[in-house]
Amino acid sequence: MASLRKTPDTGASNKADPKNAPKRGIKNPFIYAGTIVILIITIIAFVFIPSMGGLGSSGSKLSFGSWDGKPISYESGSYFANQVAQINNYLKQQGMSEENFQLYAYQVWNLAFQSSAIRTAILETVKSSGFKVTEAGIDEAIAADSSFQVNGVFSIEKYNTLPKSEQLSLRKSTEEDLFIRRYYEDLYSSAPSTGEIAFVASMIKPQRSITYASLSLDEYPKENIVAWGKENADLFKSLNVSRITLTSSESDAKKVLQQVSENKLSFEDAAKSHSQDAYADKGGDAGDIFYYSFEESFLNASDAQEVAALAKGGISKVYKVADKAWAFFKMNAGPSDPDFSSEATLNEVEAYLFEKERGTLESWAIAKATSLLASAETNGFEKSAKQAGLKVGNAGPFILNLGNPTFYAYNQQIPLLQTPSSSQDFVIQSAEKDEGFMSELFTRKKGELSRPLVIGDAVLVFQVTSDTEASEDDGAMVQFMYPYFYQESLDSNARTAFLKSPKFKDDFTSTFFKVFQPSSNKESGTDQAASSSTSTEPAPSSN
């Protein structure tokens, strides 16, 4: 089986496709069918966003969760409904048609729900603080609404053209908007201290460049892979099995097993009519599977050993293989020894090492890097790296910019700290996001060597080559931008805190999939709030 890893520079698999290799299998294959159902439901959901008759219609509410006991409901004309419409319209404006992006339905509705939850949390938080909105305050806000002004003056006649129900709804939404406004006035009145601003600005001042060499874990020698595989040969034995999985109950699984055992029903027919996993249509045939992958499909390793010990044609008892899943197996061909002269087998061993035994690969690379550093103490870094067969590169200057923080302004993400240079080397790009690398880089003096650092799928060593200071203008720009970054971070952290609060009850997923069943959509007529909004706002907002 081909390795699942991807090469850093191309993103493509670097292994051949061995057609005859045993499969790893699906750990819980009964989930596969459920995934397909979810995709189908999601497709139908998105298609019917503009035309879901009945959902959220007048007098009808649908709760997706609550904040401190207050329901977060979808109904016609509600903030939730308007958010769904705005997000949907935004996607259309970006060229993301329903036809081509049907699977975004879940994300669209979930984002609208979260936005509604945050708005509810803000309203309740401000109300609980003791802040009050007076009727006079509501009147003043409505009078300032350009929708009711003639020649810049509020027109009572224009306001009175609204039906009473709409006037009441307007007053309620205006009251809520005033609560939200107060929250953001308080939030954005916060500002970082001058000392904090100066500290952040100082992060760009030390700028360091390096000479480096990296050793990819992909270079782990083939002979080492063969040796490790032989030491762990039992993991890579292959067996051919069929299985029947039921998710209803253990007793149901035992009834089907009894029918098969009494020859009332063939194993293949039983799989096609009763099994609830990815192999049902194939009569339960799971094909050739490596033993380690087969073992992972059980809750207990001893159960896998029992099944693997069956004679050819033998049928196992029922085992619990996952939460609410029971299975029994038929042995088509018992375990066979791995062929370590086969490229497919070696690819599988290498993939196993990367996924489950990375320490073996990293220890090998660190040992080679340590040897390089020992040689560099006397022979120099570049010479020692080249003698070790490693390519030497230069990178930098770097600033202390872990995570590359950004903030949103002028409809784009703006980096708080401007990185002086960029690298095309995937290892260096990964290193810039690594705390260990940044710590090592800015604690070493010019000319010093680093310790070996595991960065993604490589081990990196470097030598500091230069140490300079940023200009005052660069520092001034950070001082100017940091207050905006600070306030946006406050807002983001507050939103996250609301969504993680024990007061927040999230029933979105279960409610979504109950509502958007295919049968429900077949009965739907036309409506609805999701297509009624003409807002061009690019994203939902809690204010």
53 and 157 within one domain: yes
Q: Rounded to an integer, what distance in angstroms lies between the CA atom of residue 233 and that of residue 217?
A: 22
136 and 77 within one domain: yes
441 and 521 within one domain: no
160-176 per-position pLDDT tens digit = 999 998 999 899 999 99
458 and 379 within one domain: yes
94 and 52 within one domain: yes
Predicted pLDDT of residue 103: 60
Asked if residue 8 is part of any domain, the answer here is no
* Residues making up the chain, counted from first to last: 543
298 and 442 within one domain: no
251 and 332 within one domain: yes
188-208 per-position pLDDT tens digit = 888 899 999 999 888 888 899
Asked if residue 22 is part of any domain, the answer here is no
Inter-axis angle of helices 105-128 and 79-93, nearest 10: 140
Asked if residue 232 is part of any domain, the answer here is no
- Residue ranges, the chain, pLDDT below 70: 1-60, 95-103, 517-543
Determine which helix (DSSP H) or strand (DSSP E) holds 243, and give its type and residue range.
strand 238-246
Q: Rounded to an integer, what distance in angstroms lies between the CA atom of residue 342 and that of residue 98?
A: 47
Asked if residue 451 is part of any domain, the answer here is yes
138 and 87 within one domain: yes
Asked if residue 379 is part of any domain, the answer here is yes
159 and 126 within one domain: yes
Q: What CATH number did the domain enclosing 295 receive?
A: 3.10.50.40
Asked if residue 39 is part of any domain, the answer here is no
Amino acid in the structure at residue 243: R
Instruction: Name the token pair of 326.
Output: 């029971």
Q: Rounded to an integer, what distance in angstroms lies between the CA atom of residue 400 and that of residue 417?
A: 9
Q: Rounded to an integer, what distance in angstroms lies between the CA atom of residue 480 and that of residue 466?
A: 28
DSSP state of 265: S
Prediction pTM value: 0.64
Predicted pLDDT of residue 417: 85
Contact 294, 308 (CB under 8 A): yes
Asked if residue 486 is part of any domain, the answer here is no
Q: How many domains in the chain?
A: 3
425 and 364 within one domain: yes
18-76 per-position pLDDT tens digit = 445 555 554 544 444 443 333 333 333 343 443 344 454 445 578 999 999 999 999 88
318 and 365 within one domain: no
289 strand-pairing partners:
23, 239
Instruction: Name the token pair of 428.
Output: 């260096």
333-357 per-position pLDDT tens digit = 989 999 999 999 999 999 999 999 9
Task: Give the range of the structural domain holding residue 130, as residue numbers without chain letter.
Answer: 48-189+507-531
* Percent over 70 (pLDDT), the chain: 82
287 and 416 within one domain: no
Strand ranges (E), 97-205:
149-150, 153-154
Instruction: Name the token pair of 460.
Output: 């990196």
Listed residues 420, 445, 469: the one ending a domain: 469
Asked if residue 185 is part of any domain, the answer here is yes
